[in-house]
């Protein structure tokens, strides 16, 4: 793993200005000027599982979210994108409150490696169906708002594809598309730092805390993990329609912590991880339209208390190529 991480950093600093050459599998348009826009949303609910009082087995925490609109430009090695939230919340603010989201990331690929670095934060959650333990809530007003609750996630992922013809550059359709089917096995190296924090207040409502288990009164759960995920990927294009997907399953070594009254307790353990991505759409020399769905999971187990968070992202990308000629 240390050797793999060393390669990541070396390849990152050597990658500026490097481009991909066209192969028999890939039709390259990096010399075309590309203008594109994308529309979608992302969300990251989480849950806590425990034998809570009153026979409650699970607490669900949901965030509200707005659709986002991105506008981008790409030419040769240069790429720029500006993304902003638009319109109002997709969910009722009375039921789900208001949420602030921030995303920052970039990715690049070199030979058989694809590197992705991303930071995500969400401020504002609601605990679902609070009437199960608190009589001040009802079915008409069921959710308990926690505007100070914040989730953070920093990740650095590197995919190593065994087939040199499998290029990430051709999957999204902006600068290239495929001409022939390609399949490959891969290994994903993943480094993650993530947490859920309620700004000094308990994450679990007072009525559901266990006086014999201090972790149920925690104001913060966090983890740092490192691991490998092997998987399989496939891409094909039939009459200008391209589709792709990959799936991997593996695990990580995890340092996990919970905080109580400004003191933290730490543990070491293992956690499962999966890697799923689906994308597809239409592409020719002049324009393209692609739908992308991305899934990610995070989890921490403190004996019989389990924290699970799922990140979902869906977006539609539309773009046009100007001066679309294949590279010779």
The C-alpha atoms of residue 33 and residue 36 are separated, in whole angstroms, by 10
pLDDT per residue as tens digits for the range 199-253: 999 999 999 999 999 999 999 999 999 999 999 999 999 999 999 999 999 999 9
The angle formed by the CA atoms of residues 203, 205 and 207, to the nearest 5 degrees, is 150
Classify strands 100-110 and 58-62 as parallel, antiparallel or unpaired. unpaired
The DSSP call for residue 202 is: -
The DSSP call for residue 168 is: G
Say if residue 322's pLDDT is above 50. Answer: yes
- The pLDDT of residue 324 is 56
- The two three-digit tokens of residue 215, written as one number: 């972790």
> Taking Cα atoms as reference points, which of 160, 269, 164, 258 lies closest to residue 217?
258
- The pLDDT of residue 79 is 76
- The pLDDT of residue 12 is 37
Say if residue 156's pLDDT is above 80. Answer: yes
The C-alpha atoms of residue 217 and residue 219 are separated, in whole angstroms, by 7
- The pLDDT of residue 128 is 95
- The pLDDT of residue 23 is 61
Let me know: does 62 contact 145? Beta carbons within 8 Å: no
Say if residue 1's pLDDT is above 70. Answer: no
Residue 8 pLDDT class (50, 70, 90 cuts): very low
Tell me the backbone φ, ψ of residue 33, rounded to 5 degrees: -85, 125
CATH number listed for the domain at residues 2-322: 2.40.128
Note if the pTM is more than 0.85: no
pLDDT per residue as tens digits for the range 95-104: 899 999 888 8
- The pLDDT of residue 150 is 96
The C-alpha atoms of residue 133 and residue 165 are separated, in whole angstroms, by 56
The C-alpha atoms of residue 114 and residue 121 are separated, in whole angstroms, by 23
Sort 82 into a burial class: Cβ within 10 Å, 0-12 / 13-18 / 19+: exposed
Average pLDDT over residues 298-324: 90
pLDDT per residue as tens digits for the range 242-269: 999 999 999 999 999 999 887 889 999 9
Q: Which residues contact 314 (CB under 8 A, 6 or more apart)?
A: 40, 41, 42, 291, 292, 293, 294
> Taking Cα atoms as reference points, which of 198, 188, 174, 168 lies closest to residue 276?
188
Let me know: does 229 contact 274? Beta carbons within 8 Å: yes
Q: Where are the domains of the chain?
A: 2-322
pLDDT per residue as tens digits for the range 37-66: 989 988 999 999 999 998 999 999 999 988
> Taking Cα atoms as reference points, which of 316, 221, 294, 256 lies closest to residue 44?
294
Beta bridge partners of 42: 313
């Amino acid at each position: 793993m240390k050797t793999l991480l060393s390669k990541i950093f070396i390849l990152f600093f050597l990658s500026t200005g490097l481009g991909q050459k066209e192969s028999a599998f890939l039709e390259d348009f990096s010399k075309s000027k590309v203008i594109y826009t994308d529309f979608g949303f992302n969300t990251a609910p989480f849950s806590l599982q425990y034998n809570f009082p009153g026979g409650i087995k699970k607490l669900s925490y949901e965030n509200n979210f707005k659709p986002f609109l991105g506008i981008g430009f790409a030419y040769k090695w240069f790429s720029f994108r500006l993304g902003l939230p638009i319109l109002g919340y997709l969910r009722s603010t009375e039921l789900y409150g208001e949420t602030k989201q921030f995303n920052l990331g970039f990715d690049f690929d070199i030979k058989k490696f694809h590197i992705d670095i991303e930071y995500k934060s969400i401020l504002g959650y609601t605990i679902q169906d609070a009437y199960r333990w608190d009589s001040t809530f009802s079915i008409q007003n069921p959710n308990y708002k926690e505007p100070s609750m914040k989730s953070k996630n920093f990740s650095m992922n590197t995919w190593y594809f065994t087939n040199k013809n499998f290029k990430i550059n051709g999957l999204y359709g902006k600068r290239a598309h495929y001409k022939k089917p390609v399949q490959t096995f891969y290994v994903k190296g993943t480094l993650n730092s993530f947490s859920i924090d309620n700004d000094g207040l308990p994450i679990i409502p007072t009525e559901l805390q266990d006086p014999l288990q201090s972790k149920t009164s925690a104001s913060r759960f966090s983890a740092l993990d490192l691991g490998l995920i092997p998987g399989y990927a496939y891409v094909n294009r039939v009459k200008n329609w391209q589709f792709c997907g990959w799936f991997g399953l593996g695990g990580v070594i995890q340092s996990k912590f919970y905080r109580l009254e400004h003191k933290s307790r730490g543990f070491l353990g293992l956690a499962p991880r999966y890697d799923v991505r689906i994308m597809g759409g239409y592409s020719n020399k002049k324009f393209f339209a692609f739908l992308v769905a991305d899934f990610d999971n995070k989890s921490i187990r403190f004996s019989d208390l389990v924290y699970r968070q799922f990140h979902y992202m869906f977006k539609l990308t539309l773009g046009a190529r100007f001066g679309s000629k294949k590279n010779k």
